Amino acid sequence: MLVSMTGFGRFFCNAPFGKLVVEIQSVNRKYLEISISLPKELNRFEMEIRKWVQELISRGQVNVRLFLTPNDAMLDQLLPDANLLKRLKKSWVKLAKASGTDPKDINLPFLLQYLPPVSLVEIVGSEEEQISALRECIEAALQGVVEMKKREGHAMAIDIGQRLGELERLISRVEKAAPDAVARQRQKLRERIQEVLAPGAELDERLLREIALFAERVDISEEIIRFHSHISQFREVLKGKNAQVGRKLDFLVQEMGREINTIGSKSADAAISRFIVDGKSELEKVREQIQNIE
């Protein structure tokens, strides 16, 4: 079953510290690259989130974004301590008067910058509870990504299967035309050699061997056999249960491209050349699809 590298998932959930919105987007990349954007209160969980992504996605550029809306309980906890603010103001006003500074400059924004940072752990309890809530939300969004990747992969498998069928038809037509093409090339070579020889001269044994060797070099039967083998392997991979096959399919496409290029370079037959052009076009479309398979 093929799985695309393109997918998107979004999920809302209620955590002990507020409402979480998770958005995960995946696009094609040669290797797995994970980018994570978190609220500052959740930054320390980045490594855990990275591990959860790696459990379900093996290839592609994955962007994870979390948005946090604190609940009322958290907002109440985040408010600064009024008694602490009073003590801070009293102390700073005393320093202001001693230094000849206007006490009016000791306002609320000035005081807030001297308050100690508030830890999310201190507000909502144990770290285990936070990780559990966060993982539930992340994995739900990841499931949305995976389901979309599977749907995309199924559509791609159908399209690739149709193009493989067209490639099989084209290579079969090349196979059918190949014997006649080789015979024509051999005869054409004999005629040209006869033209440069003296009138009435016969081809000697050495020259006949050279013609035979040339005919072997222009024979494309081995390339055709290998091409059929590559298509057969490709179909087996498509039918397999392993979803992470992008690199293997990419290798098979490269091998098929190599066989097509060799056939084209060996054969000077016009009909076969037309089939080769059509085959390259179909193979390039398959290659484009493979680039987005995980």
Q: Is the dihedral of CA 112, 114, 117, 123 positive or negative?
A: negative
CA distance 95 to 88: 11
pLDDT higher for 90 or 36? Answer: 36
Tell me the mean pLDDT in the region 189-200: 62
Q: What is the pLDDT of residue 121?
A: 46
Q: How confident is the model at residue 117 (pLDDT cuts 50, 70, 90)?
A: low
Fill in the DSSP letter of residue 2: -
pLDDT higher for 83 or 206? Answer: 83
Domain boundary assignment for the chain: 81-112, 155-290
CB contact set of 262 (below 8 Å; sequence gap of 6+): 220, 223
Check whether 119 has a pLDDT greater than 90: no
Tell me the mean pLDDT in the region 209-235: 79
Segment 238-284, tens digit of pLDDT:
887 776 788 889 999 999 999 999 888 877 677 788 888 999 999 99
The C-alpha angle with vertex 69 and arms to 64 and 71, in degrees rounded to 5, equals 140
Most confident of the ranges 16-25, 91-100, 218-227: 16-25
Check whether 175 has a pLDDT greater than 60: yes
Cα separation values, 102 from 92, 113, 114, Å: 11, 19, 19
- Helices and strands (H and E) in the chain: how many: 10, 4
If phi > 0 it is left, if psi is from -120 to 50 it is alpha, else beta; for residue 31 that is: beta
Percentage of the chain exceeding pLDDT 90: 37
Residue with tokens 């592609």: 60
Instruction: Give the relative orientation of helices 127-196 and 221-239 as an angle to the nearest 10 degrees.
Output: 160
Q: What is the pLDDT of residue 73?
A: 65
Tell me the mean pLDDT in the region 28-48: 90
Q: What is the pLDDT of residue 33?
A: 96
pLDDT higher for 103 or 126? Answer: 103
Check whether 229 has a pLDDT greater than 60: yes
pLDDT higher for 26 or 177? Answer: 26
Q: What is the pLDDT of residue 281?
A: 92
